[in-house]
């Protein structure tokens, strides 16, 4: 049946209207698509170009070369050595466990290393490279590279690791480097990105830590092209970073090595200091440890062995250890008394072997006493009773003031870890610390370097240098940074009375050069190298009245940890002092028998720049010294040099 014209016209209008709407919607969609295409291709072209580049280009930081540390002669104390390692990037690896299992079959990784690597991988962000193993040989690296297609995310790398060629000699001075921890990152408001590099190490203690900013340098960058599985195809661009600055110290590696050989078997410390410039020529603490163990990752067994050693090799006794200074403190009391005008040098004090004060008896080290002594002979023979008398006249306030003036009880600024301040006790200190008032017995104990008085070997060396020079010389460890010499400031005068200083010096001269002096057996007979010094012995345990009545046992008959500490300080030559030496031997027994011989040998080595000549020793001792020197040469390492040795 044929439709009426009216229906046909109505249907046509409906179709046209719908077609127009649909066409309009399609046109709007096309316009929107065109606008979006323009936005992507024109307005956002830089952003999408960057995204496209990142799909095929990796940008990585290049760790800076750590600065070297040299001794004063140019010998390397802390250097860098080539290190092959393998790293993994989690976002490129996919199945981390599978990749690690494949790698373990190629280079024989122990299970504990694989487990540690897996923990590290998931502890860091996916794009951060994590070191799996290092110090690989070339064959292992080649094996990994040839199997790269089956090891996505794995990359062998070559870098530099810290090395300490002189091993134990400078471990307490230089310290060591170690891996960056989360605590290190959290300690910085804006962490240096280089700290997140695989295997990157920073200074943990010693000069390595204190001069980290100078030694570290700044990172460079490199762009590499990678394929779909993350394998590096080629390096596109490289911008090297800024190497860390080299640091030159004032120490002499030959003298330091001699001291360690001389201290073998002892728990001890020795400081050698230039009396004019303050340069520290040697800072030795014995026994020591190999810092390479820590830089490469020390085992639990090795670390436990160091912790359990009764001689405490991890403790830097030279600057961190503090000890009662014993009779080496008597120069402080003598100067305080002379400066205050409370004694004349010629005045004699009688020593019967003890002094009774406030119902308590204080003994002299010589049970029968010294008789009548003036100040010079009291210093030379180290009479305790003489200084008990001086202490009561002077008082603890003047003693403390002179002690600080000579550099004791002061934390000296050195780029080393845990530099101790020691202790100059005062009335206020005792009341605050002990809740007890100061007693006259405390002053008497302080007069002979006992009681609460504590000093480090470094402080004793500073005191001796100041006595020798009459100047407020300060210790100096850094000689140059980045090839630029550190300035040496002229030390101001101590302002001490010249006559008073001369009296104290004369007492030290006779201590080592007079037959009644406590260091007579350790004298130097070479005229141009004669030494001025002072022995000291500090008690570790109080001697009871019962023990004294029963008769004191010899030090060598006591358990090691109950023996007295042995101390010795000296400067030489007498007429024109060059070096000050401080020696502390823990539980050595006596200053004259244990510490003074070490001090003499060290002083002679410093003055001669090598093994001391036998002619410097008293003739009766030369056969023994010759045997000792042969033994020392067997323990010392050959001289190290990089061709730049200089004085």
Question: pLDDT digits over 142-173, tens only?
Answer: 888 888 888 888 878 777 889 999 999 999 99
List for the chain the helix, strand, coil content (%; round to 5). 45, 20, 35
Side-chain half-sphere CA neighbours of 567 within 13 A:
34
Biggest CA-to-CA distance, the chain: 156
CA distance 248 to 263: 25
Vertex 598 angle, CA 594 and 599, to 5° = 115
Phi, psi for residue 569 in degrees, rounded to 5: -125, 150
Structural contact between residues 639 and 614, judged by C-beta atoms closer than 8 angstroms: no
Does a cis peptide bond (omega within 30 degrees of 0) precede residue 287? yes
CA distance 379 to 363: 17
Residue 464 corresponds to which tokens in the numbers above?
Answer: 């001796």
Vertex 602 angle, CA 599 and 607, to 5° = 120
Helix (H, G, I), strand (E, B) or coil at 317: coil
CA distance 380 to 378: 6
What pLDDT is stored for residue 582 in this prediction? 98
Q: Residue-wise over 33-50: b if at least 16 C-beta within 10 A, else e?
A: eeeeeeeeeeeeeeeeee
All residues at 6 or more sequence positions from 258 whose CB lies less than 8 Å from its CB, including other chains: 602, 605, 611, 632, 636
Among residues 285, 318, 327, 403, the one annotated as catalytic is 327
CA distance 428 to 432: 6
Radius of gyration for the alpha carbons in the chain, expressed in angstroms and rounded: 36
Structural contact between residues 281 and 250, judged by C-beta atoms closer than 8 angstroms: yes
CA distance 208 to 416: 9
What pLDDT is stored for residue 553 in this prediction? 65
Helix (H, G, I), strand (E, B) or coil at 559: coil
- CATH superfamily of the domain spanning 58-249: Penicillin-binding protein 2a (Domain 2) (3.90.1310.10)
Residue 450 corresponds to which tokens in the numbers above?
Answer: 């006992």
How is residue 78 annotated by DSSP? E
CA distance 297 to 204: 13
Structural contact between residues 448 and 351, judged by C-beta atoms closer than 8 angstroms: no
Q: Which residues in the chain come in under a pLDDT of 70?
A: 1-3, 5-11, 43-58, 198, 225-233, 235, 542-553, 640-647
What pLDDT is stored for residue 191 in this prediction? 73
CA distance 120 to 118: 5
CA distance 370 to 491: 39
Q: Residue-wise over 384-422: b if at least 16 C-beta within 10 A, else e?
A: bbbbbbbbeebebebbbbbbebbbbbbebebbbbebbeb
CA distance to 2, 17, 18, 484, per residue, from 8 (Å)? 10, 14, 16, 102
Structural contact between residues 139 and 129, judged by C-beta atoms closer than 8 angstroms: no
Give pTM, 2 decimals.
0.84
User: What are 271's strand-pairing partners?
Assistant: 283, 582
3-state secondary structure 563-594: CCEEEEEEEECCCCCCEEEEEEECCCCCHHHH
CA distance to 301, 302, 313, 321, per residue, from 308 (Å)? 11, 10, 9, 18
Q: Residue-wise over 305-318: b if at least 16 C-beta within 10 A, else e?
A: ebeeeeebbeebbb
Delimit the domains of the chain by residue range: 58-249, 253-635
Is 3.40.710.10 the CATH number for 253-635? yes
User: What are 69's strand-pairing partners?
Assistant: 78, 247
CA distance to 152, 423, 503, per residue, from 97 (Å)? 12, 57, 77
**Whether residue 327 lies in the annotated active site:** yes
Sequence-ordered alpha helix ranges (H) in 39-123: 45-56, 90-93, 96-107, 111-123
Query: Hey, which bits of 99-179 come out as E strands?
Result: 130-136, 154-163, 177-179
CA distance to 143, 322, 437, 513, per residue, from 434 (Å)? 67, 19, 8, 42
């Amino acid at each position: 049946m044929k439709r009426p014209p009216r229906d046909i016209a109505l249907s046509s209008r409906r179709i046209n209207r719908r077609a127009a709407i649909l066409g309009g919607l399609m046109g709007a969609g096309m316009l929107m698509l065109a606008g979006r295409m323009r936005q992507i291709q024109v307005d956002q072209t830089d952003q999408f170009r960057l995204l496209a580049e990142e799909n095929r280009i990796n940008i990585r930081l290049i760790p800076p070369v750590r600065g070297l540390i040299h001794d004063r002669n140019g010998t390397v104390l802390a250097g860098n050595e080539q290190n092959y390692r393998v790293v993994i990037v989690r976002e490129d690896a996919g199945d981390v466990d599978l990749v690690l299992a494949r790698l373990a079959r190629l280079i024989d990784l122990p299970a504990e290393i694989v487990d540690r690597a897996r923990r590290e991988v998931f502890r860091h962000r996916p794009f951060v490279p994590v070191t799996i193993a290092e110090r690989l040989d070339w064959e292992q690296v080649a094996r990994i590279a040839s199997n790269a297609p089956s090891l996505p995310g794995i990359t062998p790398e070559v870098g530099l690791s810290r090395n300490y060629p002189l091993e134990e000699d400078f471990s307490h001075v230089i310290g060591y480097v170690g891996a960056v921890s989360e605590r290190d990152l959290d300690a910085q408001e804006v962490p240096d990105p280089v700290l997140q590099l695989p295997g990157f190490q920073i200074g943990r203690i010693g000069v390595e830590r204190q001069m980290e900013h100078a030694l570290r340098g700044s990172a460079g960058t490199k762009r590499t092209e990678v394929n779909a599985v993350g394998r590096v195809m080629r390096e596109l661009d490289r911008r090297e970073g800024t190497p860390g600055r080299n640091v030159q110290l004032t120490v002499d590696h030959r003298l330091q090595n001699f001291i360690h050989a001389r201290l073998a078997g002892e728990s001890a410390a020795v400081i050698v200091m230039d009396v004019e410039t303050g340069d520290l020529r040697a800072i030795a603490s014995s026994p020591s440890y190999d810092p390479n163990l820590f830089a490469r990752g020390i085992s639990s067994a090795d670390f436990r062995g160091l912790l359990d050693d009764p001689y405490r090799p991890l403790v830097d006794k030279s600057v961190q250890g503090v000890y009662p200074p014993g009779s080496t403190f008597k120069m402080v009391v003598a100067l305080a008394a002379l400066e205050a005008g409370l004694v004349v040098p010629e005045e004699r004090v009688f020593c019967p072997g003890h002094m009774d004060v406030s119902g308590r008896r204080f003994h002299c080290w010589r049970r029968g006493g010294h008789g009548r002594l003036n100040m010079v002979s009291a210093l030379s023979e180290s009479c305790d009773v003489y200084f008990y008398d001086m202490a009561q006249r002077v008082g603890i306030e003047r003693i403390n003031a002179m002690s600080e003036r000579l550099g004791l009880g002061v934390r000296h600024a050195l780029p080393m870890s845990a530099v101790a301040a020691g202790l100059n006790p005062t009335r206020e200190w005792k009341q605050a610390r002990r809740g007890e008032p100061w007693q006259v017995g405390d002053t008497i104990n302080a007069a002979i370097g006992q009681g609460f008085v504590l000093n480090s070997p470094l402080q004793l060396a500073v005191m001796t240098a100041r006595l020798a020079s009459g100047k407020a010389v300060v210790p100096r460890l850094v000689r140059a940074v980045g090839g630029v010499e550190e300035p040496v400031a002229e030390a101001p005068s101590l302002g001490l009375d010249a006559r008073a200083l001369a009296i104290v010096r004369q007492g030290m001269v006779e201590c080592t050069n007079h037959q009644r002096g406590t260091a007579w057996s350790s004298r130097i007979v070479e005229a141009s190298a004669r030494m001025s010094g002072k022995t000291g012995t500090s008690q570790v345990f109080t001697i009871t009245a019962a023990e004294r009545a029963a008769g004191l046992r010899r030090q060598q008959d006591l358990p090691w940890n109950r023996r007295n500490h042995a101390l010795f300080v000296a400067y030489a030559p007498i007429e024109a002092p060059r070096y000050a030496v401080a020696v502390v031997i823990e539980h050595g027994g006596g200053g004259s028998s244990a510490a003074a011989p070490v001090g003499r040998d060290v002083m002679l080595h410093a003055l001669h720049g090598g093994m001391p000549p036998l002619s410097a020793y008293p003739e009766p001792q030369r056969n023994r010294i010759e045997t000792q020197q042969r033994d020392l040469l067997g323990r010392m390492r050959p001289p190290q040099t990089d061709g730049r040795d200089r004085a």
